[in-house]
Structure 1
């Protein structure tokens, strides 16, 4: 028996001796625009200690706002204010959350639609998903729909 017989295979990402042929990281998704990082100053203002990003659809549907949107919706809103409102809702839900084993937290927020079809704010349910980032750190991702996972 040689000394190499006692060597255990090195574990990589939970798989032994498997060759990884493709990976798409959170950093890749942020760079590609599939995820949009929340502004650090707004995260701090809303009381978050961890990085948070929105899926593209959550960002476009609930946060992004332009001058054209103000004209179409017949109301003036500021993107940073919309984002702060959105960040406040999951922060409140996190504080009330009682199941430490559940990494997905639904929360509701009222937003003015960008389409201009409704003049009143509409209640939208979003999901905050807690998980490891590229380096194993805690990160939060806000989704419009759980199918975006």
Structure 2
């Protein structure tokens, strides 16, 4: 008979769920229509750090980099598409996150595209359902 973690350590004091992370802004939900268009079947979210580095593009960024044709939707599409292709080409049964890189213009950096390293992983959602999270490699 296998001993559960609850048997060993008791009931958790607090659980920070995916829903909590979305509400707190630690995770940023991707609109389902866009993620499905990019090929994803399950809900996708980016960590706030990954979103800030690779997707966020506001008025200040536009003033800093005029004429580059950037938009948050377009930048998000690039991340979703490259992540999907990375997963499709990964070795079957690979453990952990699948690393990939995406070229992007940093909102507060130079006006040239540089490579940002990211990772995509599939894990259980709050009810055990599969969910996708895109993050920076050093994030958990």
TM-score, normalised on structure 1? 0.85
Among 109, 112, 116, the alignment partner of 2:105 is 112
Among 73, 89, 102, the alignment partner of 1:96 is 89
Residue equivalent to 1:128: 120
Contact 1:130–1:138 at 8 Å: present in 2 too? Answer: yes
Shift of 1:120: 0.8
Residue equivalent to 2:51: 59
Q: Which runs of 5+ in 1 are unaligned?
A: 1-7
User: Secondary structure of the residue that 1:16 maps to in structure 2?
Assistant: helix
Alignment map for 1:17-32 (pairs within 5 Å): 18-32=10-24
Q: Which runs of 5+ in 2 are unaligned?
A: none
Residue equivalent to 2:33: 41
Q: How many positions carry a matched residue from both structures?
A: 138
Cα distance in 2 between the residues matched to 1:99 and 1:125: 21
TM-score, normalised on structure 2? 0.90
Shift of 1:73: 2.1
Residue equivalent to 1:16: 7
Residue equivalent to 2:71: 78
Q: What RMSD, in angstroms, separates the aligned Cα atoms of the two structures?
A: 1.9
Residue equivalent to 1:144: 136
Contact 1:73–1:113 at 8 Å: present in 2 too? Answer: no
Which structure would you say has the larger Rg? 1
